[in-house]
Amino acid sequence: MAAVAVVTLLLLLAVASVARGGVTSTYRRRLQALPDMPLDADVFRPPAGFNAPEQGGFRRYSYGRKYRSGFIYHATLTGLEHATKYHYAVGSGTTARAFSFTTPPKPGPDVPYKFGLIGDLGQTFHSNDTLTHYEASGADAVLFIGDLSYADNHPDHDNNRWDTWARFVERSVAYQPWIWTTGNHELDFAPELGETMPFKPFTNRYPTPFKASGSTRPLWYSVRMASAHVIVLASYAAYGKYTPQWTWLQGELKRVDRKVTPWLLVCVHSPWYNSNGYHYMEGESMRVEFERWLVDAKADVVLAGHVHSYERTHRVSNVAYDIANGMATPVFNRSAPVYINIGDGGNIEGLADNFRWPQPEYSAFREASFGHATLQIMNRTHAYYEWHRNSDGVKVVADHAWFTNRYWMPTDTN
């Protein structure tokens, strides 16, 4: 009997040693990728008249040998009040369509606000599930973590798929702010098609407020919304020492005022911490360049995509390594952010179900499923985070956590 007890104890210890890193969800759904929805799908149907999202009267562009965009109109509105609902119309006469949006509340330390978190969306049936689930969340704005249309997965980077994607997401984008991060699928760099200007379709279609934050390019910038200061970085633009992005971020972190916007959120595309075999360590050079800055700034959350699964970490850092000292293992750090990989929007390439074992200690929860997340800021000290998988009902929470603010309440939790 004693021998059985010893064997049982050893087995329990073995299991504990493997599982110490956190939870790898045992939930499994079908892993095969789905194709993009057909071009005649109802979510892609152009509206009547000359007022589809890719039409307008300001600019147009050509791509490759076959595609020329419709006229794309951009408008900058000034003099808007905070926390105010505005109504607007697109088109004229019988084909005019009415929309509305509500501006974010005035920045302040205890202003509540709810962000939706979506990455790597694409335009498959899974993508439609993700957007439908998000719409039921009641969030105020979306932090989109890169990889929009996946048009480059089609022959000749078929830019008609940029048009269909715009019509697909219009049901949300036309009504609330979406803050854009660029991913690798926005590069559209195709010398074989004569296209050597990176980000050409994206920058023609989706302007960002980069000039307002002193940035020199639309790929990296910041916005202040309610009690959050959101910094957007570009994983696929130069960020080495002395480059424009490096110089801008150095100055931007000094401009963050945690007494006005206590929550510091950072968006990248390629993850800095990722225990999936897919895209493993692709974000390492950016982490080495900027992680020390974010730890010193006491950033709260870093959001990433790129890996088509879900993962949330504990608060860890890996800033002690100097090549010679061998200190290359992430350690728990109450000044460090939580890292969330949310590249599970549902795109055409399918899920990344190749987690590395044993699960690292820094990894709190991970699962290969499609879904979205929300971050609900309550006040200057607390925010509530949820992740929802598409296969559940819209109100079912698959992962959740309370985050305490690194500036106002730097507890050892998370």
Q: Which residues are known to be catalytic? A: 279
Q: Are 387 and 401 in contact (CB under 8 A)?
A: no
* Closest C-alpha among 234, 253, 216 to residue 306: 234
Q: What are 208's two structure tokens?
A: 């960002």
Q: Which amino acid, 280?
A: Y
CB burial readout 262-293, b (16+ within 10 A) else e: bbbbbbbbbbbbbbbebbeebbbebbebbbeb
CA 145 to chain centre: 2
CA 275 to chain centre: 18
Beta strands 363-367 and 310-313: pairing type?
antiparallel
* Closest C-alpha among 404, 365, 401 to residue 386: 401
Beta bridge partners of 261: none
Edge-to-edge order in the sheet of strand 178-180:
178-180, 141-144, 113-118, 371-377, 382-389, 399-404
